[in-house]
Amino acid sequence: MSVYLDNAASTALVPAALAAMTDAWGRPGNPMSLHDAGRQSRRLLEESRETIAGCVGARPSEVICTSGGTEADNLAVKGIYRARRAADDRRRRLVISAVEHHAVLDPAQWLADHEGAELVILPVDHTGRVDPADLRAELEAHPGQVALISVMWANNEVGTCQPIAELAALAREHDVPMHSDAVAAVGHVPVDYAASGLSAMSLSAHKFGGPQGVGALVLGRDVAAESLAHGGGHERDLRSGTQNVAGVAGMAAALRGAVEAMAANTAAVTALADRLVAGLTAIEGATVNSGDHGLPGLVHVSFAGCQGDSLLMLLDARGVQCSTGSACTAGVASASHVLLAMGMDRAAARGSLRLSLGPDNTAGDVDQALTALGEVLDRARAAGLTGVR
């Protein structure tokens, strides 16, 4: 019997999302068309947008539908940076944290390589948390030069939540827009865009029971951004292309369900995570890296003398599915930049696993994973699958 413990990579589609999408797929009509079928499609799109906005503390007009978190991050990072730079060429500095997902890190680096951005990387402590004092120092040292700040709401590998409201307050104090990749957070911890003080925020449906390939960028009406693609002028002229109405409907249904069940789901996965951590700490050479103030149900652990990829495959062969970190970098033969930024040495970083629980998991799943871990750890060490420098 297989056990799925990789919910941080992608969750199963919930029945409410499937039902909403099935209904939408059965309807004809382009939401931009003026006839009745088009108006019906448009109505469903806008009702879904209203639901999404209500779930994250935004206004419907601030929700821009995208193909997922990566596109939303790129639109925010490139689009806002370019708009700010165009308005004032002195604003060339782009500030991000050292633990960002590659969907933020890579476009930021691209801007540095191709458009003259001055990339500034904020350090983190051993838990992966940004110190607001470091952001304040950057802003005060370079007044009028920072174009954009982007710091993720919660880290997708170790689960650490950032002091978003405090960081956003500093950004506003210095008249700098701030974006947050909230892909790992939305649907799992309380997220209120308006209360946070952010200028922009990204989310992705498949992280909270919605379909893959659909997401949104929440963008303030007063925040200037340049489009990455031009065409029909959809989504405030920032994301041209016929909207994925069925996908957006599924995202709205899943998000509504996730928010309504958040307290119950949090209690359930927290209890399972506590059971998992208790079992892991009894394993010789295991170090749990996820902290008390992170995403519920996400457990990150390092095993001395082991290689994460080898452990992952051995566990998979025993029906336990987990990951070594972000699914977007699976198979990449290098230590996680997130773990290195937290001060972990390369050997420990290479010997790490992420086990992420969902509300459908059970105590039996946890026990099966612990049993399998005990077996594969011995085999991995004995077979000499470790020792990566």
Indicate which residues carry an active-site annotation.
Answer: 328
Q: How far lies 81's CA from each of 179, 185, 231, in Å?
A: 11, 24, 21
Q: How far lies 252's CA from each of 46, 218, 362, in Å?
A: 10, 14, 27
Q: How many CB atoms lie within 10 A of CB 229?
A: 11
Distance, in Å, from the CA atom of 331 to the CA atom of 321, rounded to the nearest integer, reads 15
CA atoms within 13 A on the CB side of 322: 32
- The bridge status of strand 200-204 relative to strand 286-288 is unpaired
- The bridge status of strand 320-321 relative to strand 3-4 is parallel
Helices (H) and strands (E) in the chain, counts: 14, 12
Number of residues that make up the chain? 389
Q: Could you tell me the strand order of the sheet in which 200-204 lies?
A: 63-66, 215-219, 200-204, 178-181, 146-150, 93-97, 118-122
Q: How many CB atoms lie within 10 A of CB 132?
A: 17
Distance, in Å, from the CA atom of 231 to the CA atom of 237, rounded to the nearest integer, reads 8
Distance, in Å, from the CA atom of 146 to the CA atom of 108, rounded to the nearest integer, reads 13
Distance, in Å, from the CA atom of 334 to the CA atom of 337, rounded to the nearest integer, reads 9
